[in-house]
């Protein structure tokens, strides 16, 4: 079965409407972090406050996602996602009201925590649905599940390109308020639709273990969580530095569009990664992709205008997808099969926490010295990526040989 045939067979199982709804349902999360940063920075005049609120939202989402996911495993997705979608949309609306009230920004930070905790992680939830969806296909299921994971990775990547771009468009046309209000509406409509779709009632078959007493947080997975924490801080610091530079240039609405350039380069590199030879082992890939991340981040320190920022972000993105694909692939290989979903969630949560750290630190430094200190956080993250990947390389190699699992996520991208 060719890749094209696999995608046709996969999407014929659900229909095009589900694919569209599941994609649009994940946009609010991709929009909310940048939307909150710009909203609070505009309302308070402080990028530190904006970065702190955006980071609070990201941390709350990272903490809440595994809790909501566990509840969905026990009770089914429909009820959980419906509650999250409606309450999350209301929480974003409350955040807008608080931001425009004459209150200290700490109140907006609390509202950001509430919104972040409630917004659903549609991407991981959509991944969970594909195995029961493909169950009737018999011998073709393994191939279709692999195709589904590849698609979901690409959809996540696209959402984190389109989400900031939509925020940038909203800011350009109107204001950060309009951009975040649009995220609230999208969540209420498509999050609810995703919850009510018939696939929400499907559950894994009894012979597919939903839990295990196998150890999850092994030393190898801890190394990979640190690797994702680092890449998350790259996202947070780049987003903050770009926002500062665009605002100082009188074009704050371009922040999302410029940040999307990082995703464009990432998509291109992710697609090309399949051409690497198998003898280029995953731990070695992680080490050299980390070096590429550091080297390609260094030009950020010389950026002085939006014109010079654009090509730097585009090229920097070329290191993002290979690094993250390798991290998640290793995560799948070093984890017991029965705990793979938990491992993926933990790695995603680490990315969110890293975003929070990067945005908060870069925001504080930007208040002090502008965009260059903010981008210096990105370079420091590159240094940490090199340190983590090179110091943990042997550990990852040993863990991978011990697990001996075939990779099913080699083409999956998780920005």
- Both 124 and 270 in a single domain? no
Q: Which of the four pLDDT bands, split at 50, 70 and 90, describes residue 355?
A: confident
- Both 334 and 399 in a single domain? yes
Of 180, 208, 236, which residue is a domain's last?
A: 208
* pLDDT, average across residues 18-29: 93
Tokens for 283, please give them: 């731990």
- Both 231 and 166 in a single domain? no
Look up the CATH number of the domain holding residue 171.
1.20.1250.20
Percent of the chain with pLDDT over 90: 28
Mention every residue, 6+ apart, whose C-beta is less than 8 A from residue 30.
Answer: 159, 160, 162, 163, 164
Could you tell me how far CA 299 lies from the centroid of its own chain?
24
How far is Cα 148 from Cα 182, in angstroms, rounded to an integer?
A: 28
- Both 259 and 350 in a single domain? yes
Which residue has tokens 């870069």?
Answer: 362
Domain count of the chain?
2
Q: Which of 190, 13, 208, 238 is nearest to 88 (CA)?
A: 190
Q: Express the helix, strand and coil content of the chain in percent, nearest 5 each.
A: 85, 0, 15
Of 143, 175, 208, which residue is a domain's last?
A: 208
Q: What is the DSSP string of 231-249?
A: HHHHHHHHHHHHHHHHHHT
- Both 71 and 31 in a single domain? yes
101-105, 123-127, 169-173, 299-303 — most confident range: 299-303
Of 208, 243, 260, which residue is a domain's last?
A: 208
- Both 216 and 319 in a single domain? yes
- Both 187 and 241 in a single domain? no
- Both 4 and 105 in a single domain? yes
Higher pLDDT, 408 or 16: 16
**Residue 382 and residue 293 in contact, taking contact as beta carbons nearer than 8 Å:** yes
Q: To the nearest whole number, what is the mean pLDDT of the chain?
A: 81
| Other CB atoms within 10 A of residue 194 CB | 28
Instruction: Report if pTM > 0.75.
Output: no
Tokens for 115, please give them: 């919104």
Q: Which of the four pLDDT bands, split at 50, 70 and 90, describes residue 10?
A: confident
- Both 140 and 198 in a single domain? yes
- Both 200 and 238 in a single domain? no
Range of the domain at 70: 1-208
Please report, for residues 98, 258, 412, the alpha-carbon distance to residue 359 in angstroms, rounded to integers and kept in the order given. 21, 16, 25
Kindly tell me if the per-residue pLDDT of 410 is higher than 70: no
How far is Cα 240 from Cα 36, in angstroms, rounded to an integer?
A: 11
- pLDDT for 9 equals 84
- Both 406 and 287 in a single domain? yes
Higher pLDDT, 403 or 92: 92
Range of lowest pLDDT (109-118, 152-161, 298-307)? 152-161
- pLDDT for 205 equals 55
Higher pLDDT, 183 or 253: 183
How far is Cα 91 from Cα 96, in angstroms, rounded to an integer?
A: 9
How far is Cα 273 from Cα 99, in angstroms, rounded to an integer?
A: 43
Q: Which of the four pLDDT bands, split at 50, 70 and 90, describes residue 279?
A: confident
| E strand spans, 169-304 | none
- pLDDT for 242 equals 87
Q: Which of 240, 92, 255 is nearest to 180 (CA)?
A: 92
How far is Cα 29 from Cα 122, in angstroms, rounded to an integer?
A: 9
135-182, pLDDT tens digit by residue? 888 787 767 766 676 677 667 767 877 887 788 788 778 788 898 999
Q: Which of the four pLDDT bands, split at 50, 70 and 90, describes residue 252?
A: confident
Higher pLDDT, 338 or 344: 344
* pLDDT, average across residues 230-241: 89
- Both 245 and 348 in a single domain? yes
* pLDDT, average across residues 94-111: 90
- Nearest-10 Cα torsion for 198, 133, 127, 331: 160
């Amino acid at each position: 079965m060719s890749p094209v045939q696999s995608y046709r067979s996969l999407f014929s199982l659900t229909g095009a409407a589900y694919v569209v709804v599941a994609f649009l349902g994940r946009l609010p999360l991709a929009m909310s972090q940048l939307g909150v940063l710009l909203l609070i920075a505009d309302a308070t005049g402080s990028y530190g406050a904006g970065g702190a609120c955006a980071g609070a939202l990201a941390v709350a989402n990272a903490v809440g996602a595994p809790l909501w996911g566990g509840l969905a495993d026990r009770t089914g997705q429909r009820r959980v996602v419906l509650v999250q979608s409606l309450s999350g949309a209301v929480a974003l609306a409350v955040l807008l009201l608080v931001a425009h009230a004459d209150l200290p920004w700490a109140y907006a930070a609390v509202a950001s925590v509430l919104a972040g905790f409630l917004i659903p992680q549609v991407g991981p939830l959509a991944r969970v649905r594909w195995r029961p969806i493909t169950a009737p296909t018999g011998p073709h299921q393994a191939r279709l599940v692999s195709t589904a994971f590849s698609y979901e990775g690409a959809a996540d990547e696209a959402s984190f390109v389109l989400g900031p771009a939509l925020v940038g468009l909203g800011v350009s046309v109107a204001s950060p308020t309009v951009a975040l209000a649009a995220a609230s509406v999208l969540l209420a409509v498509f999050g609810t639709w995703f919850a009510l779709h018939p696939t929400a009632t499907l559950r894994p078959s009894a012979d597919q273990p939903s839990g295990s007493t196998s150890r999850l947080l092994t030393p190898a997975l801890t190394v990979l969580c640190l690797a994702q924490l680092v890449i998350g801080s790259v996202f947070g610091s780049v987003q903050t530095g770009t926002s500062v530079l665009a605002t100082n240039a009188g074009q704050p609405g371009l922040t999302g569009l410029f940040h999307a350039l990082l995703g464009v380069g990432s998509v291109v590199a992710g697609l090309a990664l399949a051409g690497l030879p198998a003898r280029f082992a995953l731990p070695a890939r992680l080490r050299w992709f980390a070096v590429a991340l550091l080297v390609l981040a260094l030009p950020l320190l010389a950026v002085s205008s939006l014109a010079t920022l654009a090509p730097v972000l585009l090229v920097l993105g070329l290191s993002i997808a290979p690094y993250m694909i390798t991290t998640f692939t290793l995560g799948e290989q070093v984890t017991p099969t029965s705990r793979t979903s938990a491992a993926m969630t933990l790695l995603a949560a680490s990315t969110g926490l890293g975003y929070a750290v990067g945005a908060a630190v870069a925001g504080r430094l930007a208040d002090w010295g502008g965009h260059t200190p903010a981008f210096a956080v990105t370079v420091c993250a590159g240094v940490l990526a090199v340190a983590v990947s090179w110091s943990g390389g042997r550990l990852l190699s040993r863990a991978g040989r011990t697990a001996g699992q075939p990779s099913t996520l080699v083409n999956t991208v998780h920005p």
